[in-house]
């Protein structure tokens, strides 16, 4: 991407609103912007980070809108370049006219993520922080938001920095001896190198494990409601959502397609999926619905297996159990407001929650159980890092593999060149996370997933 261009894009989402912000970035953007901005109190050159009131006119001198104008001199700006923002009224037509004025005058429409890319290339943020901006925008729960915010703060980068530093220290020691092939590494150096690298491996492995949890916050959790017809799946979906989303009747086979809704359960962004009741049916539509439910089992993080508490357990309950027993599931005994007629056989999971969707009872316990089943490691330190990106996990894993290979080589006294290579590869892998060694195609891929204007 060409860093010389002045780029422009709306920084606010499309649609109507009180205000829309159009952002320009790049060398000379302030001169370009001043050509079309007519301040109500004239000035020669704008003071950085100060709002000016005025009018935006096009090249023909025709007024486009009454606007506020702010100049942010680099490097104290989002991109670390000179940035100008035009705050106009929030209408589609106005925004496109403002864009048109500047595009005509030589600015170029920014590509998706190009502002963040420039902030990265100009060294204002590293790659994990750029990715955190996207996560922050897409966060669907408070916890996802706070995880993204701490990554934006540089928590992950700092921790990686300390690992990289200890690997670099070991590499320095080894490289110092490479030039003396007839000499052996002193025993105390070997010992301190080994300890340092082993500690880095342990900490990186903890970080890698945290992805199991972190992923749930960044990608969200898929929760599947399963059970025979009329156990109360759709009613439970509505109760958890707090709205009458799914159709509820006492007619078996009411729900036929998959029904999905997003909600937050104890800080976890969840996609709740209601399904057709599991049973043998002659109705082709219902059969298709049952097949769709079965297909979703493997891609679900957790299944709620519903059993009607007001009736005896029957063969249909067992066939529902059969199809989810190899996945993670919680048994939910429904209709607890009715007289309980159920005697739950031992085959069902020991995690049992009783609920009444009608009376809204047991729902908090169910939410808590869902949370505990998914967040296995509840003993984790609240402040320790949670990896939320698969890209980071893959890179950290490859670094750990290099470091383990290094320890093995060290123990079997392989040549110093070999040892140095393993350490350099580990550094490269970690550098890929923060962006120092990331290849251009990976960078393109990351930034292209940003929205325009970010
Ligand atoms: N008493 C009582 N009835 C319920 C409860 N949940 C669902 N039902 C009833 O059970 C029937 C089937 O409910 P529905 O949610 O459609 O079941 P689904 O086929 O599993 O989706 C309906 O008549 C509901 O009113 C509950 O908590 N208490
Ligand atoms: Mg239903």
Report the CATH number that the domain containing residue 363 is assigned in CATH.
3.40.50.300
- Domain with residue 391: its CATH number is 1.20.120.430
Domain stop point among 62, 91, 126: 126
Domains in the chain: how many in total? Answer: 3
Evaluate whether residue 292 is within a structural domain. yes
Greater model confidence, 118 or 437? 118
DSSP for 279-337 reads: S--S-HHHHHHHHHHHHHSTT-SEEEEEEETTS---HHHHHHHHHHTTS-EEEEEE-TT
Evaluate whether residue 64 is within a structural domain. yes
Is 355 found in the same domain as 267? yes
Is 43 found in the same domain as 72? yes
Cα(275) to ligand 2 centroid in Å equals: 7
Cα(255) to ligand 2 centroid in Å equals: 4
Evaluate whether residue 431 is within a structural domain. yes
The pLDDT-based confidence of 24 (bands split at 50, 70, 90) is: very high
Domain stop point among 108, 126, 144: 126
The pLDDT-based confidence of 276 (bands split at 50, 70, 90) is: confident
Ligand 1 neighbours, Cβ below 6 Å, are: 227, 229-235, 248-250, 254-255, 277, 334-335, 337-338, 356-358
Residue 123 to residues 79, 126, 152, 159, 436, Cα–Cα distance (Å): 9, 7, 14, 18, 10
Q: What percent of the chain has pLDDT over 70?
A: 98
Protein residue whose Cα sits closest to atom 26 of ligand 1? 335
Measured CA to CA, the distance from residue 301 to residue 221 in angstroms comes to 6
Evaluate whether residue 440 is within a structural domain. no
Residue 428: pLDDT over 90: yes
The pLDDT-based confidence of 123 (bands split at 50, 70, 90) is: very high
Is 327 found in the same domain as 240? yes
Beta strand residue intervals within 147-240, DSSP E: 221-226
Is 358 found in the same domain as 267? yes
Is 223 found in the same domain as 361? yes
Q: How much is the pLDDT for 347?
A: 85
Mean pLDDT of 233-249: 92
Q: Specify the pTM.
A: 0.80
Residue 378: pLDDT over 60: no
Residue 108: pLDDT over 90: yes
Evaluate whether residue 138 is within a structural domain. yes
The pLDDT-based confidence of 380 (bands split at 50, 70, 90) is: low
Mean pLDDT of 223-249: 93
Is 236 found in the same domain as 284? yes
Residue of 224, 227, 230 to test ligand 1 pocket, by largest number of atoms within 8 Å of CB: 230
Q: How much is the pLDDT for 283?
A: 81
Cα(231) to ligand 1 centroid in Å equals: 6
Is 107 found in the same domain as 63? yes
- Domain with residue 84: its CATH number is 3.30.1360.120
Mean pLDDT of 45-70: 97
Question: What domain range is 87 assigned to?
Answer: 7-126
Cα(249) to ligand 2 centroid in Å equals: 8
Is 280 found in the same domain as 146? no
Is 396 found in the same domain as 270? no
Which long-range contacts link 375-384 to residues 24+ away (Cβ below 8 Å)? 375/213, 375/216, 375/268, 376/212, 376/213, 377/209, 377/210, 377/212, 377/213, 380/210, 380/213, 384/206, 384/210
Evaluate whether residue 448 is within a structural domain. no
Is 149 found in the same domain as 278? no
Q: Over the chain, what is the mean pLDDT? A: 91
* Ligand nearest to C-alpha 248: 1
Evaluate whether residue 36 is within a structural domain. yes
Cα(202) to ligand 2 centroid in Å equals: 47
Domain stop point among 92, 126, 160: 126
Is 366 found in the same domain as 248? yes
Neighbours of 190 (CB within 10 A): 16
Is 348 found in the same domain as 360? yes
Cα(70) to ligand 2 centroid in Å equals: 55
- Classify each residue of 115-144 as buried b or exposed e, where b means 16 or more C-beta atoms within 10 Å of its C-beta: bbbbbbbeebbbbbbbbbbbbbeebbbebb
Q: How much is the pLDDT for 258?
A: 86
Mean pLDDT of 296-324: 92
**Phi, psi angle pair for 306, to nearest 5°:** -95, 135
Evaluate whether residue 441 is within a structural domain. no
Residue 48: pLDDT over 60: yes
Protein residue whose Cα sits closest to atom 14 of ligand 1? 232
Strand 259-265 to strand 268-274: parallel, antiparallel, or no bridges (unpaired)? antiparallel
Residue of 224, 229, 232, 305 to test ligand 1 pocket, by largest number of atoms within 8 Å of CB: 232
* Ligand nearest to C-alpha 249: 1
Looking at residue 111, the DSSP 8-state letter turns out to be: P
pLDDT tens string 69-92: 999 999 999 999 999 999 999 999
Reported as type and span, the H/E element at residue 168 is helix 155-178
Cα(357) to ligand 1 centroid in Å equals: 8
* Ligand nearest to C-alpha 259: 2
Protein residue whose Cα sits closest to atom 22 of ligand 1? 250
Residue 381: pLDDT over 70: no
Cα(169) to ligand 1 centroid in Å equals: 65
* Ligand nearest to C-alpha 231: 1
Please state the atom number of ligand 1 nearest to the C-alpha of residue 250: 23
Neighbours of 69 (CB within 10 A): 24
Mean pLDDT of 17-29: 96
Q: CA dihedral defined by 148, 152, 155, 161, rounded to 10 degrees?
A: 130
pLDDT tens string 165-219: 999 999 998 888 887 767 777 888 889 999 999 999 999 999 999 998 898 988 8
């Amino acid at each position: 991407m060409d860093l010389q261009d002045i780029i422009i894009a709306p920084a606010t989402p499309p649609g109507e609103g009180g205000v829309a912000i159009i952002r320009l970035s790049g060398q000379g953007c302030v001169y370009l912007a001043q050509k079309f901005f007519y301040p109500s109190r004239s000035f020669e050159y704008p003071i950085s980070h100060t709002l000016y009131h005025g009018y935006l006119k096009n090249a023909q001198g025709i007024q486009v809108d009454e606007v506020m104008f702010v100049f942010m001199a680099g490097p104290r700006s989002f991109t670390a370049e000179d940035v100008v923002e035009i705050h106009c009224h929030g209408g589609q037509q106005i925004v496109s006219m403002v864009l048109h004025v500047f595009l005509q005058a030589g600015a170029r429409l920014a590509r998706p993520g190009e502002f963040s890319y420039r902030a990265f290339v100009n060294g204002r943020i590293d790659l994990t922080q750029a990715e955190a901006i996207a996560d922050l925008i897409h966060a669907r729960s408070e916890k996802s938001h706070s995880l993204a915010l701490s990554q934006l703060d540089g928590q992950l980068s700092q921790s990686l920095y300390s690992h990289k530093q200890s690997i670099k220290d070991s590499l320095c020691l080894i490289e110092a001896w490479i030039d003396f092939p007839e000499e052996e590494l002193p025993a105390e150096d070997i010992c301190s190198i080994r300890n340092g690298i082993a500690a880095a491996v342990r900490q990186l492995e903890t970080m890698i494990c945290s992805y199991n949890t972190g992923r749930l916050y960044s990608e969200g959790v898929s929760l599947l409601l399963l059970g025979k017809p009329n156990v109360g799946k759709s009613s439970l979906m509505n109760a958890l959502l707090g709205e009458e989303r799914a159709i509820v009747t006492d007619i078996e086979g009411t729900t036929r397609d998959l029904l999905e809704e997003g909600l937050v359960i104890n800080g976890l962004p969840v996609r709740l999926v209601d399904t057709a009741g599991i049973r043998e049916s002659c109705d082709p539509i219902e059969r298709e619905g049952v097949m769709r439910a079965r297909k979703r089992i493997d891609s679900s993080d957790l299944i709620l297996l519903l059993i009607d508490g007001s009736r005896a357990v029957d063969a249909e309950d067992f066939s529902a159990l059969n199809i989810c027993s190899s996945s993670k599931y919680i048994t939910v005994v429904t209709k607890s407001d009715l007289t309980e007629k159920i005697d739950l056989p031992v085959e069902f999971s020991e995690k049992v929650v009783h609920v009444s969707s009608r009376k809204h009872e047991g729902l908090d316990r169910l939410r808590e159980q869902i949370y505990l089943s998914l967040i296995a490691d509840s003993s984790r330190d609240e402040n320790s890092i949670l990896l939320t990106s698969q890209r980071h996990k893959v890179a950290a894993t490859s670094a750990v593999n290099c470091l383990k290979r290094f320890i093995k080589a060290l123990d079997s006294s392989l040549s110093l060149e070999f040892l140095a290579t393993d350490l350099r590869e580990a550094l490269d892998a970690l550098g890929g996370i923060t962006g120092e060694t990331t290849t251009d195609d990976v960078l393109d891929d990351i930034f292209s997933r940003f929205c325009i204007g970010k």
